[in-house]
Every structure is written in structure tokens, then in C-alpha cells.
Amino acid sequence: ATGPRTEGRGPAGAPRARGAARAMAGQAQDREPLACLMIGTGEYTSGYSPSRVAASDKNAGVVALTLFDLRRRGRVGRIGLCGVNGKKFESIRQHMNRAIVQTYKGMDSAVETFPGDDEVRSDAYLAAIDSFQPGDAATVFTPDNTHFEITKALVERGLHVLTTKPLVKTLDEH
């Protein structure tokens, strides 16, 4: 014999309201699209690698491609991209145009960049974070030794954060 039937039931076996999923989907559509900041401009985020020495399975990136698709679907609005060397942004834009816009139907790879195209600033993430609002989201795909500092700044300003591992590198950061 099998246990009690729980299909169509919510928490603790309570009947699920009809159309709950549709109602929740409607609520999401009523909200302003989520703003997202990508911190880190490398291969995993944008697919860009200046050397292209190794063949990669991430030519179109992962993070940017996902956010551009979510924007196309109306789930994400503003997208920011933050690195250290703004002088690389023109090459990154060209790469994303080739790897994403010309490959995937209806994709738009426009992003707001930090720092400016003529700047090199290791603290550019601070200005980028300050231009977003509490409740916005951010990803951190940067060199390992920067994860903790950047993630802490994001959390302190009320952003939701996804950070690649490792979150910390030293015992002091634990």
C-alpha cells in the first residue's frame, strides 16, 4: 500500500488553492523587473578571454547569457557589468555581440559598465553597488581573494548576492 495522496496539496497536506501558480506568476508580472549587477568580467560571466589560449565550453559566458535571457523574458531590467579595467569593455561588448546577440534570437547585450571605458579602478565595484538599490541582485565572479570584500559590501547595502566559491580565503574572513 502507498501513503496518503499529497498531489495537489500545499504545506502540511492542506489543499492548494486553485490557480495559485497562476496568481503567483501574475504577481511577478506586476513587479518592476529585477535589476542585476555582474561583478567580474571574465570568461564565466561574459565569455570573454583576451588570450583565447584554451578552448572553452563557456564562449558565450554563463552569467551574462542567463541575465540577458531573463531580460528578454521580462524578468530582469537593468543590468550592470563591473570590472577593474574599463579599457577592456569595448572588446567585451564586441565579444558578447558576436557570441550572444548574433547567436541567440532576440537577445540584447547592452549593459551599464563600471568603471568608465577610460578608467582602471580596483574599487569600481563600490560605485557600481551604490548605483543599485537594496533588493536588487548581484553576482560575484572575481579572483578568489576578492570574494569576501565585495560580497560583504553588497550584503551591507542590502543586495541579494550569488558568489562563486570560495567565499573566503583566510581565517580572519570566517
List pLDDT tens digits, range 127-158: 999 999 999 999 999 999 999 999 999 999 99
Whether 12 shows a pLDDT value over 80: the answer reads no
Amino acid at 9: R
Q: Could you count the other beta carbons within 10 Å of the beta carbon of residue 174?
A: 8
Distance CA 36, CA 78 (A): 6
Please tell me the least confidently modeled range out of 24-33, 79-88, 126-135, 150-159: 24-33
Output the average pLDDT for the chain: 85
Question: What is the pTM assigned to this prediction?
Answer: 0.80
